[in-house]
Amino acid sequence: MSFTEQLLERFLSYTAFDTQSKIGAKSSPSTQGQVKLAKHLMQELQQLELEEITLTKHGILTAFLPANIAHAPTIGLISHLDTSPQCSGKNVQAEVIKNYRGGDIALGIGDEFISPVYYPFLHQLTGKTLIVTDGTTLLGADNKAGIAEILTALSEIKKRNLPHCNIRIAFTPDEEIGLGMHYFPWDAFPCDWAYTIDGGEVGELEYENFNAATAKVTIHGRNIHLGSAKDKLINALTLACDFQQLLPVDEVPEKTEGKAGFFHLQRLTGDIEKAELHYLIRDFDIDKFELRKAFIRQAVDKFNREKGLRQKAEVTPTDTYKNMYDVVKTVPQSIDLADKAMKACNIEPVHKPIRGGTDGAWFAEKGLACPNIFTGGYNFHSKHELISLEGMVDAVNVIIKMMELAVK
Ligand SMILES: [Zn+2]
C-alpha cells in the first residue's frame, strides 16, 4: 500500500470515532469518545515502536521517537482528538471524490451541497481527491487529519530510515472547548519547540494569535409596580443598552480583519433588577490589548458618573490567553524550519495571523514556542467541511522534511 493510501485509510478510520467535545461537562476529557480514539492511537504508536507511550487519565496521549543522529534538537508535534461542539460528529459518513471535476458537489442524498459560488477555493482543487461529508455531520478533518498526517510521517520516517531529530508527539482532548491543556503532562514533553498540525489551506503557517480576555459588566436596576414606577423604577436592561453605546461601533468582529482588534458583545442576559453584558476583548498588540481592558473599565466609570446610580455597575476583565508570538519570536528557528521545509516541498509558505486562539497559545504560556501548520482542510466546524488528499500528502511531506532539516 502506498503512503497516500495508508494516509487516507488512517484518516477515514479516525472519522468513525465520535469525539465531539462538550461544553460544561464535569469530566476531563469532556466525552469518552475521545478516550476511545486515544486508546486506538496508542495501539498505532505501539506498532510504530515509539517509546514512552503514555495515556494520562485525562485523555492526553504522548510518545517519543529518539533521534537517529547525535546532538539533535527535540521537536514536538501536536494535534487534538476532539471535534467541535458546534456540529455533530456522530456517525460520520465520509465520501471520497476522486478527480474532482469542478462545480457543485452534492453531499449525501443531496439535501446539502457545496458550491464554488460560495466557496471559491474549490476552483483550486480541480483534479484533486476530495473527502467530504454526507451533509449531516462535520468531517473531523479538524483535527483528525493532523493526527493521520503525524502518524503517517512517523511511519514513513521509520520505514525509509530517514535522518530525524528527537520527536515528541502529543494528542490532546478538548481543544475546541479550550480545556485540553489544563492537565497537560509538561514533564513528559520536554521540547526545544513544537508545532500544532491544526491549520487549514496548504502553506498556512501561523504563529501570531490574539491576546484574549473576557469582561462581564453587571448593571443593577430596581423593580417596582409599573403603576407607580415614575422616578422610581430603574430598568437594568435599558441601562445595559445604554452602556453598549459607549463602545466604539466599528471595533467589532463583523467590521474588522487582519490584525485589528475588537470588543465583541457575545451575550446579554438579565431582567429589570440585573443585567449582564458579556464581552470578548481581542487584540494582537499587547499594549493595545491592555488599553482595551482599560477602556472598558473607564467606560464603566463614566457610565456610573453619568447615570448617578446608587448601586454602581461593575466590570471584571479576565485574561484568557496571550499572543504566542512573544514566545515564538525568541525561537525564530521554529518559523525558519517550517518555511524551509515547505519551500523544499515546493509549497509557498503563507504567514497568517490567527484571529482566535490555538493550543499553541497555551504552550506559549509555558514558554514553549508552538507555531501552527496546515492540514489541508477547509470549512472546519461545519457540515461543509472538506479536505483534499493531496493537501494531506503535502502536510506529511512537510512534517518529514522538518524533522530531517532539523538535524542539518
Ligand atoms: Zn483544530
Task: Give me 147's grid cell.
Answer: 493526527
Dist. CA 194 → ligand 1 center (Å): 16
- Predicted local distance difference test score (pLDDT) of residue 246: 97
- Predicted local distance difference test score (pLDDT) of residue 67: 98
Q: Are 342 and 261 members of one domain?
A: no
Q: Are 389 and 245 members of one domain?
A: no
- Predicted local distance difference test score (pLDDT) of residue 158: 97
- Which tens digits make up the pLDDT trace of 313-336? 999 899 988 999 999 999 999 999
- Predicted local distance difference test score (pLDDT) of residue 359: 81
Dist. CA 317 → ligand 1 center (Å): 26
What range does the domain containing 328 cover? 3-209+323-405
The whole-model pTM stands at 0.88
Query: What amino acid occupies position 397?
Result: N
Task: Give me 152's grid cell.
Answer: 503517517
Q: Identify each DSSP E strand in 224-273 by its residue range.
A: 262-270
Angle 82-177-287 from CA coordinates, rounded to 5°: 130
Domain closes at, from 292, 321, 350: 321
Q: Are 185 and 308 members of one domain?
A: no
Q: Are 270 and 158 members of one domain?
A: no
Beta bridge partners of residue 131, listed in sequence order = 96, 387
Number of domains in the chain: 2
H-run or E-run covering 42: helix 32-47
Q: Are 266 and 146 members of one domain?
A: no
Q: Are 311 and 258 members of one domain?
A: yes
- Predicted local distance difference test score (pLDDT) of residue 209: 93
Dist. CA 203 → ligand 1 center (Å): 16
Residue 120 sits in a domain of what CATH number?
3.40.630.10
Nearest by Cα to 237 from 197, 189, 192, 269: 269
**How much of the chain is in helix, strand and coil states, percent to nearest 5?**
35, 25, 40
Q: Are 72 and 159 members of one domain?
A: yes
Residues bordering ligand 1, an ion, CB closer than 5 Å: 142-143, 198
- Give the pairing of strands 74-80 and 166-172: parallel
Domain closes at, from 284, 306, 321: 321
Q: Are 13 and 114 members of one domain?
A: yes
H helices within 165-259, ranges in order?
236-244
Q: Give pLDDT < 50 ranges for the chain.
A: none
CA-to-CA separations, 24 to 77, 175, 264, 408, in angstroms, rounded: 28, 14, 22, 46
Dist. CA 309 → ligand 1 center (Å): 45
Domain closes at, from 253, 288, 321: 321
DSSP 101: -
- Predicted local distance difference test score (pLDDT) of residue 7: 98
Q: Are 303 and 162 members of one domain?
A: no
CA dihedral 373, 378, 379, 383 (to 10 degrees): -120
Question: What is the spatial distance between Cα 253 and Cα 124, in angstroms, rounded to a whole number?
Answer: 28
Residue 292 sits in a domain of what CATH number?
3.30.70.360
Dist. CA 381 → ligand 1 center (Å): 9
Q: Are 199 and 220 members of one domain?
A: no
Active site residue ranges: 82, 175
Question: What is the spatial distance between Cα 25 and Cα 280, in angstroms, rounded to a whole number?
Answer: 22
Q: Are 314 and 331 members of one domain?
A: no
Q: Are 238 and 327 members of one domain?
A: no
CA-to-CA separations, 363 to 187, 215, 227, 286, in angstroms, rounded: 13, 24, 58, 18
